[in-house]
Amino acid sequence: MDAILLQILNGLDKGSAYALIALGLTLIFGTLGVVNFAHGALFMIGAFCAVTMQRILTISQTTIDESRTDFLGNPMKVETPYVENWFGPELGGAIIDWAVPLAILFAIPVMICIGFIMERGLIKHFYKRPHADQILVTFGLAIVLQEVIKYFYGANPIPTPAPAAFTGSFDFGVLLGFDPNAIIYPLWRLVYFVFSLIIIAAVFGFLQFTTFGMVVRAGMADRETVGLLGINIDKRFTIMFGIAAAVAGLAGVMYTPINSPNYHMGMDFLVLSFVVVVVGGMGSLPGAVLAGFLLGILESFASMNEIKSLVPGIDQIIIYLIAIVILLTRPRGLMGRKGVMEE
């Protein structure tokens, strides 16, 4: 029992990331009708927003401390981050420690801007082109973004720690009446899961309860009719693209303490996220979220030793296997709408 719970918990953080990326992909696909292969790159850029934030906060002033000497006997150089100079070592240190959550504030405007530029500058011209062309051009864009990040940040993963307050683990077992240490769960993963739930709730609430969201939903169902009503749907869709980019970016920012970001993480997640979208049903937002968590948890189960010894290698292929089965038995995915991408 506790082992099962542990696996479910383990699957949640990856599932959260899948769900958030798939949500953005579906928003873009559902509203703009564009298959965006660069969406993984947006996730990756979000992660590097956190890295950038960390770097900005640790920009240091070099002072020479005469009282201490280094091993050559010269006066020692001391690097103090400007933040600590300004706010004092305590508060400054705390700000640096909280670089990742703070990066959210930085990432939202950056990601929305990137989203706007992408949509206005490139995607807009591909609405009427075949899906294959959309895939190809966004695939090219993904390569470019990835290479740009690699140029500035190098090819190696960059460790970006969570705030010290969240580095510990949380003992779920005690909470549920199991033995202590039976279910140990890293705190940051819990934070990530809660964070993703908030984002998902925010996106759904936004679509459900605002006029803007209503128009967008109507546009997802029938773009032409909404256009005929004289509503400027294009402008709203641009904003939706920005939001989708921000969602992917935030997913990336908060993911950095779980896995050190590197330039190809976007592509790694993209392939899986597409599988998630297809399993959930192309164009269905609840489907994307559901399938994201479902596949994350199933992947975690498949990596249990008991299961691996039964079916070797299953942890590597489970997601693809499920995708194939679902696509063949339920072509529209778990919750897909009729008529989406069926031609």
Partner 1 sequence: MLGLNSKDTKFLLIVIFLTLATPILLQPFPEGSGMAQFNAGYPDLMQRFAIYGIFAIGFNILFGLTGYLSFGHAAFLGIGSYSVVWMYKLLDYNVIWGLPLAIITSGIFALAIGFISLRRSGIYFSILTLAFAQMSFALAYSVLTPLTNGETGLQVYRSDKQVLLGATEPTSPHFFGIVMRENFWEPSVGNWQFTFNNGYYFCAIIAILAFYLSLRIFRSPFGMMLRAIKSNQQRMNYTGLNSRPYTLAAFVISGMYAGLAGGLLASMDPLAGAERMQWTASGEVVLMTILGGAGTLLGPVLGAGFIKYFENIFSKINDNVLHTWFGFLPDGIEDFMVTIVHPFVGKGWHLTLGLLFMAVVIFLPGGLVELGQRVGRLFRRRDINSADAEAKAAKQRANTPAE
Q: Which residues make up the interface to partner 1 (CB under 8 A)? A: 35, 122, 125, 131-133, 135-137, 139-144, 146-148, 151, 267, 271, 274-275, 278, 282, 312-313, 316-317, 320-321, 323-324, 327-328, 331, 341-343
**Cβ distance to partner 1 smaller for residue 144 or 214:** 144
> Are the C-beta atoms of residues 274 and 25 closer than 8 Å to each other?
yes
**Cβ distance to partner 1 smaller for residue 48 or 170:** 48
Residue 333 DSSP SS3? coil
CB of 123 to partner 1, least distance (A): 11
CB of 148 to partner 1, least distance (A): 7
**Cβ distance to partner 1 smaller for residue 166 or 241:** 241
**Cβ distance to partner 1 smaller for residue 35 or 203:** 35
Q: Which residue has the tokens 């305590």?
A: 90
**Cβ distance to partner 1 smaller for residue 79 or 133:** 133
> Are the C-beta atoms of residues 143 and 292 closer than 8 Å to each other?
no
How many angstroms separate the CA atoms of 172 and 3, rounded? 12
What is the maximum span of the chain, computed from C-alpha positions, in angstroms?
Answer: 79
**Cβ distance to partner 1 smaller for residue 265 or 275:** 275
**Cβ distance to partner 1 smaller for residue 191 or 270:** 270
CB of 41 to partner 1, least distance (A): 11
Instruction: Name the token pair of 123.
Output: 């995607």
SS3 annotation, 114-171: HHHHHHHHCHHHHCCCCHHHHHHHHHHHHHHHHHHHHHHHCCCCCCCCCCHHHCCEEE
How many angstroms separate the CA atoms of 2 and 18, rounded? 24
Cα–chain center distance at 231: 31
Backbone angles phi, psi at 220, to 5 degrees: -65, -35
Q: What is the DSSP letter of 66?
A: E
CB of 306 to partner 1, least distance (A): 16
CB of 299 to partner 1, least distance (A): 12
How many angstroms separate the CA atoms of 201 and 247, rounded? 12
CB of 295 to partner 1, least distance (A): 12
CB of 283 to partner 1, least distance (A): 11
